[in-house]
Amino acid sequence: MQHLVDTEDLSDIQLANIIRDAKAFKRQLPPPLLQNRLLITLFFENSTRTRSSFEIAGKRLGATVVHLDPTKSSTKKGETLGDTFDTLSAMGADGIIIRHEFNSVPRKLADKNSTTVINAGAGNYAHPTQALLDYFTLLEIFGDLKGKRIAIVGDIVSSRVASSAIRLFERVGMDITLVAPEPFMPNNSLRKCEKLDDELLDNVDIIMSLRAQLERHKAPIFEDYDEYAKEYCITKERLKDRNIIVLHPGPVMRNIDISDEMLEDQRCKVLEQVKNGVFIRMAILKALLLDS
């Protein structure tokens, strides 16, 4: 039984096949490959993109998709997460797509090996499908990513998007620089820079902007995000006419992460990421439920 807790669960061949399938599905929708399969989405944290993207992906492949809302489930009556999960597995789920605030939850549930577990975001640890859709989006633009220079900008330490992206981008040979004020900077061996200045911008091909993860901060880190925005907001004035691709996983804090004007700019791929998310999740579901 194959799970997707982070992209390290995928072999190089599986990774290549997922990209190949996502590309093919984007050109032409496939037949209902997952007919008679049951997928359950179980989201303990809020979501707009990831949950709907998974549900659309499953339905486009002909699967039955059921959503359990934990705020209205027996979790509220004191049922443990493990018991909720076992209950859904017993109903014949072929895959459970889970989002949770705790880093360890998807791996613990996967270790039960009762149904395929797909991590749709766990704490600040991993968000593998976001990393894969970002990878796919960049491959479409650049063809080959070896040596491509990416700056990850924002609340990196709290971001599961950054955690998964860093592991996948390192694996495919990209050159990563982390750009953040000290409280947002993780402790690792990657190149770091506190300023989003001209010298940095002259030396990157891609910027991944990230939202401040306010819900993960134990105490407010910045009183005033307008001050933060002065240093880190991705604006046209900052980028000038440089040929830099701008990514953001969403939700965007407008004029703090990226300016209104920049969001309309051709270089900004936020909605292309969303679009690609459906195709990559279709390819992931196929890889996990049919191919392995």
For ligand NCD, the binding residues (CB under 6 A) are 49-50, 121, 127, 130, 160-161, 211, 249-250
Phi and psi, residue 34, nearest 5°:
-110, 30
7 or 50: CB nearest ligand NCD: 50
Q: Which is nearer to ligand NCD, 89 or 209 (CB)?
A: 209
Q: Which is nearer to ligand NCD, 114 or 255 (CB)?
A: 255
Q: Considering the complex, what minimum distance in angstroms separates the CB of residue 47 from ligand NCD?
A: 6
Q: What are the distances in angstroms from CA 236 to CA 74, 119, 135, 142?
A: 49, 35, 24, 22
CB of 250 to ligand NCD, least distance (A): 5
Tell me how far, at minimum, the Cβ of 41 lies from ligand NCD, in Å.
13
Nearer to ligand NCD (CB atom), residue 115 or residue 158? 158
User: Closer to ligand NCD at the Cβ: 14 or 50?
Assistant: 50
Task: Output b/e per residue, 244-281; b: 16+ Cβ within 10 A.
Answer: bbbbbbbebbebbbbbeebbeeebbbbebbbebbbbbb
CB 181 to ligand NCD: min, Å: 17
What distance in Å separates the CA atoms of residue 276 and residue 77, rounded to the nearest whole number? 38
Q: How far apart are CA 150 and CA 141, in angstroms?
A: 14
Nearest distance in Å: CB 95, ligand NCD: 18
List the structure tokens of 167.
Answer: 């592991």
